[in-house]
Chain A
Amino acid sequence: AQSVTQLDSQVPVFEEAPVELRCNYSSSVSVYLFWYVQYPNQGLQLLLKYLSGSTLVKGINGFEAEFNKSQTSFHLRKPSVHISDTAEYFCAVSQPNTGNQFYFGTGTSLTVIP
């Protein structure tokens, strides 16, 4: 089974500063990678996903993530954060042909400080 590690449980960052949220997964076999965002008392929304091809993936709200196969990582970045980016961020992994079993990280709480 896969495991997903989000190395930082809480990340405070000043408004307009860059941010990186880290995600590592355990298996080196073919995977699909996802980042979801959760605003307070809401469900999870898809930010972006990597399926194949270019290792740099762009998502909504100015976020992007880079797939690194050798390091089994899929870190999320934004060059300049806004107050509205304050939320919980989840990394997730699935594998083809496994019945779409998802493995979630424990989440990173991003707090943007004005």
Chain B
Amino acid sequence: DGGITQSPKYLFRKEGQNVTLSCEQNLNHDAMYWYRQDPGQGLRLIYYSQIVNDFQKGDIAEGYSVSREKKESFPLTVTSAQKNPTAFYLCASSMPDRAWYGYTFGSGTRLTVV
């Protein structure tokens, strides 16, 4: 079955470390997105990519970085510059020319700073 796979499901990071969250899709979707979710704040867009080798900052990109070397993959790196990284991170994908399709979401990665 097609879908989005996020790994790991739980991740622990020491302060000052960079960590990378994986997001892989086999839906042949062109666009991919990263969202951060905190209690009571809904979904906030970190980065998005509409095509391979191109990506755009979202509303809260500071302290994060991404790459899009392959259509199927859109990894997110949480750098040491992100002061409050503990959150639930969601990856999504879509077809940019099919707004009616909606987004498909992964199952999320919960990152905790220890």
Contacts and interface: CB of A to CB of B under 8 A. Distances in A.
B102 interface: yes
Nearest to A107: B42
Interface residues of A, number: 26
A106 interface: yes
Interface of B, secondary structure class, is: loop
B107 A43 contact: yes
Contacts of A95: 99
Interface of A: 9, 32, 34, 36, 41-46, 49, 51, 90, 92, 94-100, 102, 104-107
Interface of B: 4, 6, 9, 31, 40-43, 50, 88, 90, 92, 94-103, 105-108, 110
15 contacts: A41-B9, A43-B105, A43-B107, A43-B108, A49-B100, A92-B103, A94-B100, A96-B99, A96-B100, A100-B31, A100-B99, A102-B103, A105-B42, A106-B41, A107-B42
